[in-house]
Amino acid sequence: MKKTKLTELYKELGIRDEVSHFGDRILDSLRERFEEIDQTAEYNQLKVIQAMQKSQVNENCLHYYASGYGYNDLGRDTLEEVYASVFHTESALVRPQITCGTHALALALGAVLRPGDELLSPAGKPYDTLEEVIGIRPSKGSLAEYGITYSQVELLPDGTFDYDAIEKAVRPNTKLITIQRSKGYLTRPTFSVSQIGELIAFVKKIKPDVICMVDNCYGEFVETLEPSDVGADLVVGSLIKNPGGGLAPIGGYIAGRKELIDLCGYRLTSPGLGREVGASLGVMQSFYQGLFLAPGVAAGALKGAVFAANIYERLGYKVVPDSRESRHDIIQAVELGTPEGVIAFCRGIQAAAPVDSYVIPEPWAMPGYDSDVIMAAGAFVQGSSIELSADGPVRPPYAVYFQGGLTWHHAKLGILMSLEYMMRDGLITDHDIMGYDGLLTGDTE
Ligand SMILES: *Cc1c(COP(=O)(O)O)cnc(C)c1O
């Protein structure tokens, strides 16, 4: 009875019965996966609550409205203590003045590196926006302009670390290595926390004083461990991704060794002033509450990614990660194979949004891309990619990358809607999703 009512409502929202049923059948096969995701979320939820209790977070922390210089901003200072507890680090910098993830990464690099130092990426090319920060692509204000050199070791063809080449690339002036946990928009696998731990241990054995930084974007709370639990000296991320829980309207964090976090403070504000200044201007409640919700939000996004991988893989599309792989970030890529597929998928995601659902996304020439890009986002916070969002460059292999969903049920609606739109455009047929029943029998691990 209840089920019928639910299908009715899906239908009112534009999802035909066949698509709902197909989704249900896929879901039936995912119970164990979801159970595992919930267990991770439970652990991380307790970890966050424990950290908040330990720092005695109280009402004054939430509503302490510091302006001006922001000396003794209780809410800010306590929140930084909470982040340090969650990441098991000595210290943390968590500020609305850190404008985004790229800024947080640039800040950490600029704070630690000095002219003559070398930065090493032992695991392939870093995130696009870091190319200009480092100066891989010449850019005003890059680290290269300050006499900081860069070297990079490619991954082996199977996506693992090339330890021989890394050993040779660690030089006397190698000051910092940067490891990106998430694949971002590359096709390599995402690294697990334990893989990152192995890499850090290897590099530290060669040169114990190397500072190991991890770009943690999209990875927070996906596992029970964070890179700082396995030897990272600095972990860096954005608050409009996982740890902001969808509520933080801006911000970034850096957690790590105190000496390094203090340097980041001097770089963010000014030598001498450091972390003492930087008023929190009333955003603290959203930072605390967002962090509190973040483990559950990350779990919802993860369920969405697993659901989508299973839906689209069963329909014959290549998905990365695949339907059964273990997950280390919340990004899902689906190779749709045609421009029409990319467009229909993104339009479906958009149509499921709570905000701007009536907008029809179009491919567009974006700065920095060599092809048109289509983006779907109906977000409460501009550009927030912990909210359900998708984008794809309109070029072969016609892959879309999608991530987020503040709740699992929204992610589910978005994915069903993407399928519905693909069907409306004739890219997937009734036959494709009906023929699935037979496949399901005996289709377990
Ligand atoms: C999003 C992201 C960044 C950059 O963050 P912005 O907030 O977009 O500047 C860096 N690295 C990775 C892996 C990311 O996913």
pLDDT for the residue 189: 85
Q: Whose C-alpha lies nearest to ligand 1, atom 8? A: 101
Closest residue by Cα to residue 76 from 236, 278, 273, 246: 278
Question: Which residues have any ligand 1 atom within 6 Å of their CB?
Answer: 100-102, 127, 129, 180, 182, 184, 215, 217-218, 238
Residues 161-182: tens digit of each pLDDT: 999 999 999 999 999 999 999 9
Average pLDDT over residues 324-340: 94
For the ranges 301-305, 373-377, 436-440, the lowest mean pLDDT is seen at 436-440
**d(CA 130, ligand 1 centre) in Å:** 9
Residue 444 has pLDDT above 70, yes or no: no
Residues 204-234: tens digit of each pLDDT: 999 999 999 999 999 999 999 999 999 999 9
Q: Rounded mean pLDDT of the chain? A: 94
**d(CA 432, ligand 1 centre) in Å:** 36
For residues 329 and 183, the answer to whether their CB atoms sit within 8 Å is: yes
Average pLDDT over residues 254-265: 98
Best residue among 105, 109, 129 to mutate for probing ligand 1's pocket (most ligand atoms within 8 Å of CB) is 129
Query: Which atom from ligand 1 is nearest to the alpha carbon of 102?
Result: 9
- Phi and psi of 79, rounded to 5°? -60, -40
Best residue among 131, 235, 238 to mutate for probing ligand 1's pocket (most ligand atoms within 8 Å of CB) is 238
**d(CA 240, ligand 1 centre) in Å:** 10
Reduced DSSP (H G I as helix, E B as strand, rest coil) percent helix, strand, coil of the chain, to 5: 45, 15, 40
Pair of tokens at residue 408:
């699992």
For residues 133 and 95, the answer to whether their CB atoms sit within 8 Å is: no
Query: Which atom from ligand 1 is nearest to the alpha carbon of 240?
Result: 7
The secondary structure of 53-95, three-state, reads: HHCCCCHHHHHCCCCCCCCCCHHHHHHHHHHHHHCCCCEEEEE
End-to-end CA, the chain: 32
Q: Angle of helix 284-314 relative to helix 74-86, nearest 10 degrees?
A: 40
Q: Whose C-alpha lies nearest to ligand 1, atom 2? A: 217
Residues 49-87: tens digit of each pLDDT: 999 999 999 999 999 888 899 999 999 999 999 999 999
DSSP annotation of 146 reads: G
Residue 366 has pLDDT above 90, yes or no: no
d(CA 228, CA 351): 39
Residue 445 pLDDT grade (very low, low, confident, very high; cuts 50, 70, 90): very low
Best residue among 109, 131, 217, 382 to mutate for probing ligand 1's pocket (most ligand atoms within 8 Å of CB) is 217
Q: Whose C-alpha lies nearest to ligand 1, atom 6? A: 101
Residues 266-286: tens digit of each pLDDT: 999 999 999 999 999 999 999
d(CA 344, CA 361): 9
**d(CA 46, ligand 1 centre) in Å:** 27
Write the DSSP assignment of 256-322 as a string of letters. E-HHHHHHHHHHHS-TTTGGG----TT-HHHHHHHHHHHHHHHHHHHHHHHHHHHHHHHTT-EEES-
Query: Which atom from ligand 1 is nearest to the alpha carbon of 183?
Result: 13
d(CA 102, CA 237): 8
Residue 186 pLDDT grade (very low, low, confident, very high; cuts 50, 70, 90): confident
Task: Report the sign of the C-alpha dihedral through residues 229, 231, 234, 235, in that order.
Answer: negative
